[in-house]
Every structure is written in C-alpha cells, then in structure tokens.
Amino acid sequence: MKIVLKTTTPTANPGEKGLGFGVFTDHMFTMDYEKGKGWHSPRITAVEPLMMHPGSAVLHYAQAVFEGMKAFKSKDDRVLLFRPEQNMQRMNRSCVRMNIPTFDEDLALEGIKKLVALEHRWIPREPGTSLYVRPFIIATDPFLGPSASSTYKFIVILAPVGAYLAGLNPVDIYVEPHYVRAIRGGTGNIKAAGNYAPQYVVQESASELGYAQVLWLDGVERKYVEEVGAMNVFFNIDGTLVTPDLGDTILPGVTRDSVIQLLKAWHIPVEERRLEIAELFEVYEQGKLIEAFGCGTAAAISPIGGLAWKDSKIKIAKGQVGEISKRLYETLTGMQTGELPDEYDWIVEAKS
C-alpha cells in the first residue's frame, strides 16, 4: 500500500477539551472490491464525501459491517494501537456472516497503521481521550433486489474522542424487560451495522428515566443477562468475576478477552456462564454482589453503580468504583498509552 494523496487544505486540530464522536481527521483509507477482481486499489486520500447511487445496496438492505479501535500517543510520541489484529480478525468473521468478501487482514492493518501515523497530530493526550479508528465495509451495487452485492468499499476514518459515558464514574443501568438486542441464530455476535439502530428507541426511553445505559436480556426467555449497551459486562459475585458466556447473541469483545486474561494472570476467579438477572438481585440481597462493570473499546471499563429491573432497584458498591474495576481500568489504559509495560504483546506501534 503505497498511494498516499495528502490533503492540501488541512483543518485545524480541535484541541483536547469537549471532544465528542463527530470531529474527523483529514485523511481516510479506502480500498475497493469487484467480483472477479477481488479487493484492490488500497490508498490513503483526503476525507471526502462518498459518491453513491441512491439505489446502493447498503442503503436498502444494510449489508455493512464495522469495527471500533483506538490509537494512543505515548509520552515519547510513539503512536500505539491496542490488539488491532483482533479487530481485523473479528471484522472478517462479520464479513462471513454478512456474505461480504473477506479481506487481507495484514494489508488492511498496514493501511490503518499508516493512516494513524499520518494523522498523529490529531491524537489527544488528556486522560480518557484517544483517536477513535472506525473501519467499515459497505455494499455499493445499485440494485434493489434482496441479494448480496458484487461491489464493496472498505473505508477507515478517524476521530479524536473524549471519554465515553462518564469515564470511570459509575452509572445507573436500566434492565430492558421487553425489547431484545439479539436472538439465537442472528447477528448478535458480529458487528453488523443493522444491529445498532433498533437499540436507539430503548436507549432514549432509558435516558428519559435517568439511566445511562440499557442492560439487555436474552431474546427467548428474557431472563439471562447478555450485554450492557454495546459493551460486554462483568459482575463480581462473592469474589468471582462472572460474565455471560459467548454464543451467537453476544459480541466477543477484544476488551472482554483482555479482561479475562488479566483476571487469570492476577489469580482472580473468573467464570463464563449463563447468568440470570434474578440471580443478581438475589446475591445483592445476600451481600455478595460486590461490583459490576461494562467493558469495551469506547469506554475500556465503565463501572455500574446501580440496576433497575421491573419494580426493583439496587445500588452496587454504594455507587462507588470497585477495586477490581479500578485496577483493570488503570492497567488497560496504562498499557494502551505506554505508561505500563506490555507483558502480553498487545501493543502495536504505528509508523509512517
């Protein structure tokens, strides 16, 4: 991947205060797919609007997948990515499920590293900030038949972002009793674009009630814990960290896997199993629910301060940050920013 067409009109860096998820850097990575030709023409160019036919398949049938990653800058100005090869592998698994042609993971990662290195001036340094990396693939055939496209675009855009949710401050969560995020045999275990918009109506209702996020239950019996918002979730029950086991309804998070590896290295018991929402309220009454947190790329670790389910409400860890939550957050963010040593070979340096 050698083609780099730099912008001739660079925009001003927005600074590091009040960053959201809507400011974008100057350049993007793109490559194209044509049936019979495969993926081709990888390049870095100035960010520009996409020219698409209104009949493009992605607009009508949501044949699209994406990933979420972050880049950080160390004190010695190295540009660091956290386990990016895992995101490329997961994105290809998403492609298989959505009948999108898989891509060369090494080539895509090379493009991402070059793009991030090129845009290094946009990487903020304030605690909780980062450069968000969004790779995505969209179907581009101008065709209204419900079938897989024969042309696609792979694009990567970047955005400097601040802390997601409340950072390390505990948030209250609403347990959704009716709507579900995913169903067995569906697409809950991949990052398909169409997975997310159906959550918005529930999220807005929860926000109106004063809750920061929604805890999703299983789609069949409505009693097993699955995810919190778009994050995996862990509960410290009497000293054992319990997280729902993976199936085809739960996304196998990179942060989730990292948390499990860290817990095992620290000799903290961890279980992956089916977990009933009723069990959480029972162990709370027994004084055994010590702490809880969501985890994912955007937030790293997001402590849960309370749960509301039906007519019951509980306050976890007295609404404070749990000891393990804090340790995990400090370890993950320390490794990501180069403050702590990388004992797991998780950090990849991006160079131009």
Q: Mean pLDDT, to the nearest integer, of 48-74? A: 96
Nearest partner of 86 among 352, 349, 348, judged by Cα = 348
Q: Collapse the DSSP code of 198 into the 3-class scheme (helix H, G, I; strand E, B; otherwise coil) and give the result.
A: helix
User: Among 60-64, 122-126, 235-239, 274-278, where is mean pLDDT lowest?
Assistant: 122-126
Residue type, 308: A
Rounded Cα gap, residues 271 and 243, in angstroms = 6
Residue 26's CB is within 10 A of a number of other CB atoms, namely 19
Question: What residues form DSSP beta bridges with 213?
Answer: 173
Predicted pLDDT at 17: 64
Predicted pLDDT at 328: 97
Q: Is residue 1 over pLDDT 60?
A: no
Secondary element (H or E) of residue 87: helix 84-97
CATH class assigned to 171-336:
alpha beta
Task: Record the tokens describing residue 264, joined without a space.
Answer: 């095992």
162 band by pLDDT with thresholds 50, 70 and 90:
confident
Within the chain, all domains assigned CATH 3.30.470.10 are found at 3-162
Residue 18's CB is within 10 A of a number of other CB atoms, namely 8
Rounded Cα gap, residues 243 and 208, in angstroms = 28
**What's the topology of domain 3-162?**
D-amino Acid Aminotransferase; Chain A, domain 1 (3.30.470)
Predicted pLDDT at 5: 75
Q: Output helix, strand, coil percentages for the chain, rounded to the nearest 5.
A: 25, 30, 45
Q: Per residue in 291-313, pLDDT tens?
A: 999 999 988 999 999 999 999 99
Q: Per residue in 111-140, pLDDT tens?
A: 999 999 999 999 998 888 999 999 999 999
Within the chain, all domains assigned CATH 3.20.10.10 are found at 171-336
